[in-house]
Amino acid sequence: PEAPAETETEAPATSHEHTRTGMSKASLKQAYIDNLFYIQGRFREVATPHDLYMAAAFTVRDRMLERWVKSAQVYKSSRARTVCYLSAEYLLGPHLANNLVNLGIAEVAQRAGEELDLDFKAILEEEEEPGLGNGGLGRLAACYMDSLATVQIPAIGYGIRYEFGIFDQIIEDGWQVERSDTWLRNGNPWEIPRPKISFPVMYGGHTEHYRDQAERPRVRWIPDMVISGVAYDTPVLGYGVGNVNLLRLWKAEATESFDFQTFNVGDYYGAVHAKIEAETISKVLYPNDDPEAGKELRLKQQYFFVSCSIQDMIRLHLNTVGPLETFHEKFVAQLNDTHPAIAVAELMRLLMDDHAVTWDDAWATTRATFCYTNHTLLPEALETWSVALFERLLPRHLEIIYEINRRFLDEVRVRYLGDEERVARMSLIDEAGGRRIRMAHLAVVGSRAVNGVAALHSELIKTTLLKDFYEMAPERFHNVTNGVTPRRFIVVSNPRLAELITEVCGHDRWIRDLDSLRELEAHADDPKLQARWREVKTAAKRDLAVWLKRHAGVLLDPQTMMFDIQAKRLHEYKRQHLNVLHIIRVYQRLKQNPNLGMVPRAFIFGGKAAPGYYMAKLMIKLINAVAEVINNDPQVNGYIRVAFMPDFNVKNGQRLYPAADLSEQISLAGKEASGTGNMKFSMNGALTVGTLDGANIEIREEVGAENFFLFGMTAEEVRRKQDEGYRPWDYYHGDQELKSDIDLIASGLFSHGDTNLFRPLTEHLIHQDPFMVLADYRAYLECQDRISTVYDRPAEWDRMSILNVARMGKFSSDRSIREYAERIWSIEPQPLGA
Ligand code: F58
């Protein structure tokens, strides 16, 4: 089965109580035992934990496949308009628990497991997550896949089946050490290989211009390398519905004809080499959260999955709906950042070169197909590729980009007579220095809609990054504030909270209609609810404490300590070092006054640093160094402890969000496009300490300013201060406590007397401080003091926590997807019953 538009499938005659796919406890038990035997070749007594997991996975998968076939048939016969989400990353997290919840059989499956004497929790723990993404952008794609299915929008997610996902992080001597992620080692029960769905992908060579039989000018691309992309399909089931969408990830392989025929006949070693080179393309995810310019393999990856995906869309369209003129009516393609932006040139190429469509018609179709989401304003994260690299790798696409640019710039000239500066600014080619292609400009010019991911971010796009484009076509600019799926981030990860909410509301409709959490508001002051709310939180903290004891060797007291958590990629703009400065301040206060009656706190961090990002790695070392001193100082360690959770990923994130009292969202205003961790924490009853950045602003609006701990400069104030000439040195000398905190790091206290270790960090703060840590330091400390005061008044804190959850409806990714569907995609739900 292939949703949503496959031709070759007929539904088998199965019903929900068919022995193989029944949903009753008895059917589940029987199916489980059968799968253990017929798929794993084991029976209970000799099965390994992994066998037990695989049997559970196949039992769940069978139940999804039945719904998948039905979805494919309905979508096909209704010729449903379909969204294609193009993303180089999907940070999916473990499937099993999520699919059980979406199928609505989590409880019955648990009971079935108990009757089979299985350790249900251990089985769930056994799953290795597909870490096919770096951070927020990849996780957003995964949340959107869940919501697309749940709100019943026909969709295909296209991406890359990396053999090695984001590296595993271990901490050695306080430093991050990377280990390769081998998620496919034991097989992946959730994917179905489709060897017959494969496409050639070409690289290099040259182009030839010729006239076809009708004397039309045509172009042919003669590549010097051809590889093949093979589809691997993962079904994505919506919550409480019958809709199953398709996540189609491409694996790179050598083409048979290439390695054994076209390529040097008889040259066995050469052929094997070609195979390795081809397979390299989908081998590993780039672990950087900002692109290093000029990585040839990265461009190869991007083009690889884009080309396969666009070829697949054309195939599906020709198989079902018909002529290419209506391609954009059948499909809308969402570009998740600029990584797939080459799709604009690829669709043009395929329409013109392979299907003899004229430039004007191809352009009209292309422009009507694509939409582009921007996820960053940081200049170093904006993708550009050197023209020279393009010429070498994608010569035909370079020609097409030049022609798009020529026509586009002519429009600009006619619109803004004589404004050649504007023409240079808007060009797809950056002519300054080495000539480079601006992928964001290609994405904008080739799309009918552009959006940012939170209100502030979308405004900044219009006034800074894409100002010229906005002035030319304001109607194409939108905002769609990010969201996260409450299935994974409440129901799966925090079952105690989910149960309590359901009990208080008297229904579980909130899981698909998060706005209905508002019903909790009426109970926010109820002492009985507050007590239970607190119990739920403490239980989650206890779980986390047990885990951290085991995996980080730190002992935290869930009963007395406030859990203050910052979990996200390590980056200077996210300002983990601001958090550390606060910890050091509290430490110094305690040392000066050991009887200071303070609220005990556990400061918990999690996050990976890009392997080549020196400063981020040094921040991890600093956190661990501070942890070592504080946790071993008996004078203070009854009050404060510091823990670094190793290997923050989706699975480990699910342990953190439920256990947080306080969520740290402290980026410099204007730098975090949206943030989504902020939403996950708040949905689980954490209060936020945050700046007016990204979606924090909207979270504060929703939960109420009185239920949010705000500090720091606004984006506007940041800009002004930068324009005036920011001088961190003045802050350093103007604030005794700040100076003494930084000096304490520099003194060698946290580095066994080594005064050099952290010098790059402290010096950088004092002299450059590009993210204005020092300017926001004082406001942050004052805010943290207010937080401690409120935490000391449980009734007040609990009320605020309940109200945070009650008012998080807006941040369900279901809402985001509905906005995309209505405002950007013009696409209607296709309801299918569960
Ligand atoms: C993130 N970007 C934003 N990029 O930083 C965050 O504010 C936002 O909430 C999230 O996107 C979702 O919109 C992000 O995660 C990456 O990881 C890219 C990986 C590939 C290289 C470029 C950055």
Q: Compute the distance between CA of residue 711 and CA of residue 584 in angstroms, rounded to an integer.
A: 19
Residue nearest to atom 11 of ligand 1 (CA): 137
21, 82, 234, 676: the catalytic one is 676
Q: What pLDDT digit, counting tens, does each position of 307-348 carry?
A: 999 999 999 999 988 899 999 999 999 999 999 999 999 999
492-531 burial by CB neighbour count: b if 16+ within 10 A, else e? Answer: bbbbebbebbeebbeebebbbebebbebbeebbebeebbe
Claim to verify: residue 426 and residue 533 sit in the same structural domain = no
Q: What pLDDT digit, counting tens, does each position of 508-556 carry?
A: 999 999 999 999 999 999 999 999 999 999 999 999 999 999 999 999 9
Q: What pLDDT digit, counting tens, does each position of 20-58 carry?
A: 789 999 999 999 999 999 999 999 999 999 999 999 999
Element (H, E) at 250: strand 244-254
Q: What pLDDT digit, counting tens, does each position of 437-480 carry?
A: 999 999 999 999 999 999 999 999 999 999 999 999 999 999 99
Claim to verify: residue 62 and residue 89 sit in the same structural domain = no
Tell me the pTM: 0.96
The Å distance, Cα 141 to ligand 1 centre, comes to 11
- The mean predicted confidence, pLDDT, of the chain is 95
Which residue did the predictor score with more confidence, 217 or 270? 217
557 assigned to some structural domain: yes
Shortest-distance atom of ligand 1 to CA 134: 17
Could you tell me the pLDDT band of residue 381, with boundaries at 50, 70 and 90?
Answer: confident
How much of the chain exceeds pLDDT 70, in percent? Answer: 96
Q: What was the pLDDT predicted at 19?
A: 65
Say whether pLDDT at 157 is over 80. yes
Say whether pLDDT at 14 is over 70. no
The residues, ordered by sequence, that sit 6+ positions from 425 with a Cβ below 8 Å of its Cβ are 468
The Å distance, Cα 572 to ligand 1 centre, comes to 14
8 A C-beta contact, residue 232 and residue 308 = no
φ and ψ at residue 266, rounded to 5 degrees = 85, -15
Say whether pLDDT at 9 is over 60. no
Claim to verify: residue 399 and residue 494 sit in the same structural domain = no
Best residue among 91, 375, 378, 489 to mutate for probing ligand 1, ranked by most atoms within 8 Å of CB: 375
Say whether pLDDT at 576 is over 50. yes
Residue nearest to atom 22 of ligand 1 (CA): 290
The Å distance, Cα 378 to ligand 1 centre, comes to 11
Best residue among 90, 147, 376 to mutate for probing ligand 1, ranked by most atoms within 8 Å of CB: 376
Average pLDDT over residues 764-790: 98
Pocket of ligand 1 (CB under 6 A): 134-137, 140, 288-291, 375-376, 381, 453, 482, 672-676, 694
- Is residue 180 packed enough to be buried (19+ CB in 10 Å), middle (13-18) or exposed (0-12)? exposed
The total number of structural domains in the chain stands at 3
Q: What was the pLDDT predicted at 694?
A: 98
Q: How many CB atoms lie within 10 A of CB 192?
A: 16
Q: What was the pLDDT predicted at 21?
A: 85
Say whether pLDDT at 739 is over 90. yes
Q: Is 218 marked active-site? A: no
Say whether pLDDT at 384 is over 50. yes
Shortest-distance atom of ligand 1 to CA 676: 9
834 assigned to some structural domain: no
Claim to verify: residue 412 and residue 507 sit in the same structural domain = no
76, 569, 582, 810: the catalytic one is 569
Say whether pLDDT at 366 is over 50. yes
Say whether pLDDT at 268 is over 80. no
Q: Is 574 marked active-site? A: yes
Say whether pLDDT at 432 is over 80. yes
The Å distance, Cα 381 to ligand 1 centre, comes to 9
Q: Compute the distance between CA of residue 196 and CA of residue 61 in angstroms, rounded to an integer.
A: 21
Residue nearest to atom 6 of ligand 1 (CA): 675
Q: What was the pLDDT predicted at 288?
A: 85
67, 375, 512, 671: the catalytic one is 375
Residue nearest to atom 20 of ligand 1 (CA): 289
The Å distance, Cα 472 to ligand 1 centre, comes to 27
Give 332's strand partners. Answer: 83
Q: Compute the distance between CA of residue 97 and CA of residue 120 in angstroms, rounded to an integer.
A: 10
The Å distance, Cα 421 to ligand 1 centre, comes to 31
φ and ψ at residue 194, rounded to 5 degrees = -125, 75
Average pLDDT over residues 114-139: 97
How much of the chain exceeds pLDDT 90, in percent? Answer: 91
Which residue did the predictor score with more confidence, 7 or 630? 630
Residue nearest to atom 18 of ligand 1 (CA): 289
Give 430's strand partners. Answer: 436
Say whether pLDDT at 834 is over 90. no
Claim to verify: residue 388 and residue 497 sit in the same structural domain = no
8 A C-beta contact, residue 189 and residue 62 = no
Q: Is 810 marked active-site? A: no
Claim to verify: residue 453 and residue 492 sit in the same structural domain = no
8 A C-beta contact, residue 194 and residue 2 = yes
Whose CA is closest to 757, among 630, 622, 577, 573? 622
833 assigned to some structural domain: no
Average pLDDT over residues 198-221: 97
Q: Is 211 helix (H, G, I), strand (E, B) or coil?
A: strand
Q: DSSP readout, 121-139? A: HHHHHHPPP-EES-SHHHH
Q: How far is CA 287 from CA 179, 663, 671, in A?
A: 12, 25, 20
Shortest-distance atom of ligand 1 to CA 291: 21
Q: Compute the distance between CA of residue 43 and CA of residue 735 in angstroms, rounded to an integer.
A: 68
Q: What was the pLDDT predicted at 8?
A: 36
Q: Is 20 marked active-site? A: no
Claim to verify: residue 387 and residue 465 sit in the same structural domain = yes
Q: What was the pLDDT predicted at 11?
A: 42
Residue nearest to atom 9 of ligand 1 (CA): 675
Claim to verify: residue 182 and residue 57 sit in the same structural domain = no
Average pLDDT over residues 791-800: 98
Residue with tokens 């998968």: 61
The Å distance, Cα 374 to ligand 1 centre, comes to 9
Average pLDDT over residues 633-648: 97
Q: Is 729 helix (H, G, I), strand (E, B) or coil?
A: helix
Q: Compute the distance between CA of residue 404 and CA of residue 340 in angstroms, rounded to an integer.
A: 17
ipTM here: 0.97
The Å distance, Cα 775 to ligand 1 centre, comes to 25
Say whether pLDDT at 7 is over 50. no
Q: What was the pLDDT predicted at 264?
A: 57
Which residue did the predictor score with more confidence, 379 or 404? 404
The Å distance, Cα 602 to ligand 1 centre, comes to 28
Q: What was the pLDDT predicted at 452?
A: 98
258 assigned to some structural domain: yes
145 assigned to some structural domain: yes
Say whether pLDDT at 358 is over 80. yes
Residue nearest to atom 19 of ligand 1 (CA): 289
Shortest-distance atom of ligand 1 to CA 140: 12
Could you tell me the pLDDT band of residue 261, with boundaries at 50, 70 and 90?
Answer: low
487, 568, 575, 810: the catalytic one is 568
Claim to verify: residue 644 and residue 680 sit in the same structural domain = yes
Q: What was the pLDDT predicted at 259?
A: 52
The Å distance, Cα 410 to ligand 1 centre, comes to 33
8 A C-beta contact, residue 480 and residue 824 = yes
Q: Is 680 marked active-site? A: yes
The Å distance, Cα 125 to ligand 1 centre, comes to 27
Claim to verify: residue 142 and residue 225 sit in the same structural domain = yes
8 A C-beta contact, residue 703 and residue 524 = no
Q: What is the CATH number of the domain that holds 405?
A: 3.40.50.2000
Peptide bond into 4 cis (omega under 30): yes
Average pLDDT over residues 480-499: 98
Residue numbers of the domain that contains 70 = 1-77+101-124
The Å distance, Cα 481 to ligand 1 centre, comes to 14
Q: How many CB atoms lie within 10 A of CB 593?
A: 10
Q: Compute the distance between CA of residue 678 and CA of residue 699 in angstroms, rounded to an integer.
A: 8
Q: Compute the distance between CA of residue 155 and CA of residue 134 in angstroms, rounded to an integer.
A: 23
Q: What pLDDT digit, counting tens, does each position of 583-629 carry?
A: 999 999 999 998 888 899 999 999 999 999 999 999 999 999 999 99
Claim to verify: residue 73 and residue 84 sit in the same structural domain = no
User: In what side-by-side order are the strands of the sheet with 192-203?
Assistant: 192-203, 225-237, 244-254, 155-160, 82-86, 331-336, 370-373, 449-452, 477-479
Q: Is 304 helix (H, G, I), strand (E, B) or coil?
A: helix
Residue type, 662: L
The radius of gyration of the chain from alpha carbons, rounded to an integer in Å, stands at 27
Structure tokens of 277? 């080179």
Q: What was the pLDDT predicted at 12?
A: 44
396, 436, 680, 799: the catalytic one is 680
The Å distance, Cα 725 to ligand 1 centre, comes to 28
424 assigned to some structural domain: yes
Residue nearest to atom 16 of ligand 1 (CA): 289
Q: Is 676 marked active-site? A: yes
Residue nearest to atom 4 of ligand 1 (CA): 137
Q: What was the pLDDT predicted at 293?
A: 56
The Å distance, Cα 338 to ligand 1 centre, comes to 11
Q: What was the pLDDT predicted at 379?
A: 86
Three-state SS string over 520-581 comes to: HHHHCCCHHHHHHHHHHHHHHHHHHHHHHHHHHCCCCCCCCCEEEEEECCCCHHHCHHHHHH
36 assigned to some structural domain: yes
800 assigned to some structural domain: yes
Shortest-distance atom of ligand 1 to CA 286: 20
328, 436, 574, 651: the catalytic one is 574
Q: What was the pLDDT predicted at 701?
A: 98
Shortest-distance atom of ligand 1 to CA 383: 22
Claim to verify: residue 144 and residue 9 sit in the same structural domain = no
- Is residue 611 packed enough to be buried (19+ CB in 10 Å), middle (13-18) or exposed (0-12)? middle
Which residue did the predictor score with more confidence, 6 or 418? 418
Q: What was the pLDDT predicted at 15?
A: 47
Say whether pLDDT at 273 is over 90. no
Best residue among 86, 289, 650, 697 to mutate for probing ligand 1, ranked by most atoms within 8 Å of CB: 289
Q: What is the DSSP letter of 796?
A: H
Q: What pLDDT digit, counting tens, does each position of 678-724 carry?
A: 999 999 999 999 999 999 999 999 999 999 999 999 999 999 999 99
Q: Compute the distance between CA of residue 281 and CA of residue 528 in angstroms, rounded to an integer.
A: 57
Element (H, E) at 196: strand 192-203
Best residue among 85, 132, 137, 451 to mutate for probing ligand 1, ranked by most atoms within 8 Å of CB: 137
